[in-house]
Chains A and B, each alone.
Chain A
Amino acid sequence: MECCWDKEIVAMGDCPNITEGDEDLLTSRSRRFLEKCCECERFYKDLDRFNASGHPLAPIFTVLHNDYRHQKIQIQSLVSFLDSKTLETRFLHELGTALQNSVDLDEVLSVALTAITAGKGFGMNRVFLLLADRERRLLYGHLAIGPRSPEEASQIWQEIASTDMDLRSMAHVFQQQKLHSERDKFQHILDKLQISFDDQEHIIVKAFENPHPVLVQDAFNNPRVTPEFARLLGVNSFMILPLVSRHRRIGAMIADNFITNNPITTDDLLSIETFSRAVAFAIERASLYEKLQEQVDELQTANHKLKEQQELLVRMEKMALVGRITSSVAHSIRNPLTVIGGFARNILKATSPDDSRHSFITSIVNETKQLESVLDEVLTYSDSIYPARDFWDPNQIIEAAANECQDRILLQDYSLKLHTNAELPQVWVDFRQVVYCIKTIILVNLDGLTRGTISISAAVVDNYVEIKIKDAGRNLSEDELEAMLTPFAETCQMGSGLSLALCRNMLDKQKIPFLVIAPPHGGVTYSLKLPTIKEKNHEQIIDS
C-alpha cells in the first residue's frame, strides 16, 4: 500500500498531506481517511489497484468515493456562500445601524458613499451622488468619492488597509477629513450632472420608472446612454441606483469601477438594492430633519424676538407709568407751591424788615423754596430711573416706527419694505424720539401720494447705524424741501404731524445727523445716523 489509509497510527512524515496543525489526524484513522486520504494521489493508486483486482465491491466503492468527493465540494461551496452572506448581512446590519442612528445629512451621505466604495462593503471604485431638487424638478450632482488615478487608488486603499476601522468610523473620518476635498475634486463633473425630470429619455430618469438598480454596459455604444453622459463618466460600465423613498424620488447614485475595470455583476445589483432603499430613506429623513431644524431655529429666533418685544413693552409701560405718576405729582404739588411761594414773595416785597411779620413771611418763602427743591430732586430722580437715552436695537426702532404708520400705509395703498439686519449693533438714542422722527418722516413723505413704495434700510457706517428711508416716487423741489423743514410752513401739508423741522430739532439735540437728499431727477432719501457708542465718547468723536 502506498497510502496510509490502512494504518491505525502514523508518524509525522508518513503522509505527505499531514502538516503542522494536523497532528490529531496521526492517531485518528477515520478522520485521516475522510479528510486527507480521499484526496490523496497515493490513495488513488491504491484504488486503481483495487479496481484492477476484480473485486466485486471495487466499482461500487469507486462510485461512493466519487459521490463523497462531489458532496464535499458542494458543502464547501455552500459554506463559502454562507460565509459571504453572513459577512454581507453583518455589513448591512452595520450599515443600517449607522444610517438609523444619524439625522445629519452629511453624515448619512458619508456613510452611504463609504459603504458603496469600501472594500468591506460593496467595493466599488467610484460613486456619484445626485440629489433631487423638487422645486426645480431636476437631479443635481451633490457629492462624489473615489480615486482619479491608479496611483491615488493604491494610496487610498493602502491607507484603508492599514487601519482596521468599522464602517461608521470610516464614514466619520471621511466626513471630517475628505467630504469637502472629494466634492472639490469632482466639482467639474458634479456641475455637469444636472438632469431634468422632464428629460424622460435620459437613462437616469428612466431608472426611476422601475426603481431597481440598473446595470449599464458598453456605455459608449449603448443607445440608452447619450455620448455626452458616457464621456462625462468616462467608463464603459456602471450601475445606477435610483434612491426612492415612499414613491418619492430622493436622488440617485452612479457607481463604477473606474480604476480596476472589474465587471459589475447582477449579484452586485441584487445585494446593493437593499442598501439603496435604506440610503434613500435615511437621506429623506435627514433632509426632513434638517428642514425641521431650520423651522425650529426660525421659531426660536421668532420666540427670542417676541420675548425682546415683550421686555421692551414692559419697559416702555414702566416708563409711561413713571411719567404719568410724576406728571400727576408735579401738577398737584407744584401749582399750590408756586402760589404760596409767589404770594409770600409778593407780600414780602411790600413788608418792612421792621415789621414783626417779615420773618414769618420770609420763613414761608424759604420753606416753599425748600419744598420746590425737594420736588425737583424727586422728579429728577424719577427721570433718572428710566433715562431717555439707552442702547436700543435699531431693528426694533425701525419696526416700531413702521408699525405706527401701518394704517396710513394701507390707506394710501403704499408698501413699506423693511430691510432689517440682525447683525447691526445697538444704538445709543432716545427710543421714543427716534421712533417718532422716523414715523413723522414716513407720514410727511406719504402726504398726497398713493401706490408707492417706501423702503427702510440700515447699515453700519463708522460709529453709526445709518437708517435710510427712501421713496423713489416722491419728487421734491428745493422750495418744497425748504418748506418741509420749516415749522408750519404755508406750502407744507401738515396732516400727519409737526413737520420735519421738529424732527430735525429733536435729532440735533441727540447729535444725530439728519439729511434729506432730493436729487433733481426725482426720489427722496432721508438719512439718520444713530450713534453706536455712548454720548460721552460720541461727543469726543464729533469734537475731534
Chain B
Amino acid sequence: MPALLAAALGAGVLAGCSATEPSPTPSPSATPDPDADYLQRAVAAEIALLASYDDPASSVADLSPLVAEARAHHQQHLTALIDSARAAGLPVPTTSSPTPSAVTSGAPAEPRGPQLAPAEDAVDLARRLVAIERRSSEFGRDALPTIRRPVLAVLAAQIAASEGQHATALFTALREGQIRRTSRPSPAPAATRS
C-alpha cells in the first residue's frame, strides 16, 4: 500500500517538489491593504469549498469520513479568517451569500474552479475535490508574499497546508481503492418490437 502513496508523491500531489511553479493569482484591482483583499478572497473561497462538500455524493460511506473532517477544517478556517479580520481592524468579509455561485461571483477573483454538479459519482467527486483543494492551496501559497501582517501570513500558510493535506488524503484514498464508484450503468434501451 505505501507503494501507492509513493505514487502519489510522483504524481505531484505533495507540494514543494513540483517541476513547475504555480502562476501567481492575478489581482483584478489594486487595493489599499493587500491583507483585506486576501481575506475577502479567502473567505469567499472557504464558503465555496464548504458548499462543494455539500454535494449529495459526499454522503456516501466511502467519502463521508474524509468529507466530515475536511468540512470541519474549512469551517475552522472560515472562523479564523473572520476573527483575523476583526483583530486586524480590517473589514469583515461577507459570509452571508446564500449560494456558492453568488459567493464566488462576488469575490474579486475566482481562485477555485467551477462548482460541482449535484449527485456526482463518488470517484468523480473525489477527483474534483482533489483538484479544488489543490487550487485552493495554491491560491493561499501564492498570496503569501503579498500579505503584510505576519499573523495573517501564518494563517494563510497553515490553511494552504491543510488544504494540501486534504488533497493528499483524498488522492491517497482514490489510489488505495477506498472510494468506489456510486454511479450505475445506464439501463439498456428497451427492445423495439416490430
Partners in one complex: no
Which residues of A are interface residues toward B (Cβ below 8 A)? none
- B residues lining the A interface (CB < 8 Å): none
